[in-house]
Structure 1
Amino acid sequence: MSGRKAANGFLAIVSGLILIAVMLLTVIEQCVFDLNFFRSEYNKLDTVSVTGMPEKDLMVTTTELLAYIQGDKDDLEIRAEINGQERQVFNQREIVHMADVQRLYLSSRMVRNAGLIVLFLFLILLRISNGKKYFRSWASGFLTAAVIFLCIFGAVGIAVWRDFQVFWDSFHYLIFTNDLWLLDPETDILIQMVPEQFFFDLVIRILALFGSAVLILALVAARIRFVYQKV
């Protein structure tokens, strides 16, 4: 394999990996901040009864919580009716943990945006290097990247299905440097709002949407590769 051909293959595969990573972060963002999903899960898990909050207060709290994570709200000083009494919704441990979550989200958003810029530059280089064979080269690289990601996410899907608690705990130990995410479902409103079942449903939704998006784009890439195979 010539050096130029190897370089083209590298550019194509890396651009495919970056595109898929950007897709993943975008799917996660869309799922996490979907109020309709929260409303559906709250109905399914009877969250109004669990938290002791009226549905209106529960949705207002959720909206403000998501605004805080996105950096659109300065603090989590939220008051609501809980078991018939108005009070501060989140305690200090929950507030500090959500500050960690906010930093994680803002960092992932920055990585996603930087990834888009790097992807654009890689695609320009790939176009300059390949000329008329650009689409064929991109398609081959994306298909390789798709196989890599789908194998990884297949393994993740199996882990989630076999024992979600182990998967979820391992994820938190990997991402966070403290144990503030270990909340008490008897007293902490945050974990009552979004218990383990909520996150199981969320992860399954993310895996399903992301996997479908990658498969669709892989079919497009396969079609391009077939059409341009003699170019």
Structure 2
Amino acid sequence: MKNFIKNLLVLLQLFSLFLASILFFILKISFYFPIYKSFYLKNNLAHKLGVSNEQLLNYTENLFAYLKNNTSLDSSWFTNKDILHMVDVRNLYLISSKIMYLLFFIFIILTISNIFIFKKNYLKIISKLFNRLLAIFMLLIFSLALYISINFTKFWISFHEILFSNDLWLLDPAESNLIKMFPENFFFFLVASIVISLIIYFVLLIILKKILSKKYANKL
């Protein structure tokens, strides 16, 4: 029972780190402005929408500021249904941010406490559980990447059905400027960027772990 509790503490420590990292990449990449600017220019989107590049970027900045709870949406550009849907998106963003910070806090607290609890056995225990939990996360991410590559539309619909309790996300492409700004191929690129970044991140964690294992081999 004692070993079970100790292993559970380390698993919670690692789980907090991995999940917080995933949320970090999702939130940071989703707000990485150059991605939007590049997509607009590549697809000549401003011209298609009948606005200037500067105006389109301003609408995007307005959207970012709104999601961060810093301003209201421009009702002269976004439709009523756009705005209603973005209320749900903002709530999701704010909750996700709080969860991310909480998980990082839990990771730090558990790391400090586990070092004192395990002392000399800490590196050995965390090394063993690190490999197992990371393998699970990597499997999930690769499975997600495969699912997205096979049928992104189905993934995107399922994503909305799971996270939103209403149908406000079903916007009319003929009326919604939000849909016109962010068509499906944009979200495919955004999600793919997040998944690829996470794969690189976890691979780097594996490399870092191997380097540390060699350096502290006599302690493991």
TM-score, with length taken from structure 1: 0.89
Paired-residue identity, %: 27
Matched residue, 1:188: 176
1:20-60 deviation line (CA, Å, top 9, x unaligned):
11111111111111111100111222211332221000001
Is the deviation greater in 140-149 or in 18-27?
A: 140-149
Matched residue, 2:73: 76
Letter in 2 for 1:135: L
Q: 1:17 aligns with which of 15, 18, 29?
A: 15
Deviation (angstroms), 1:179: 0.8
Q: 1:36 aligns with which of 25, 34, 37?
A: 34
Is the deviation greater in 14-23 or in 125-134?
A: 125-134
SS at match of 1:177: coil
Return closer, same or farther for 1:140/1:228 CA change in 2, 3 Å cut-off: farther
Letter in 2 for 1:194: F
Residue-pair matches, total: 219
Deviation (angstroms), 1:222: 2.8
Matched residue, 1:115: 103
SS at match of 1:181: coil
1:52-99 deviation line (CA, Å, top 9, x unaligned):
2210000011001001001111x1135xxxxxxxxx101110000001
1:93-134 deviation line (CA, Å, top 9, x unaligned):
000000100000000001011111211221122101211232
Matched residue, 1:207: 195
Please say if residues 28 and 206 of structure 1, whose CA atoms lie closer than 8 Å, have aligned partners that are also in contact. Answer: yes
Letter in 2 for 1:183: L
Specify which structure has the higher proportion of helix. Answer: 2
Letter in 2 for 1:150: M
Matched residue, 1:6: 4
Deviation (angstroms), 1:185: 1.6
CA distance in 1, matches of 2:7, 2:218: 17
CA distance in 2, matches of 1:71, 1:92: 18
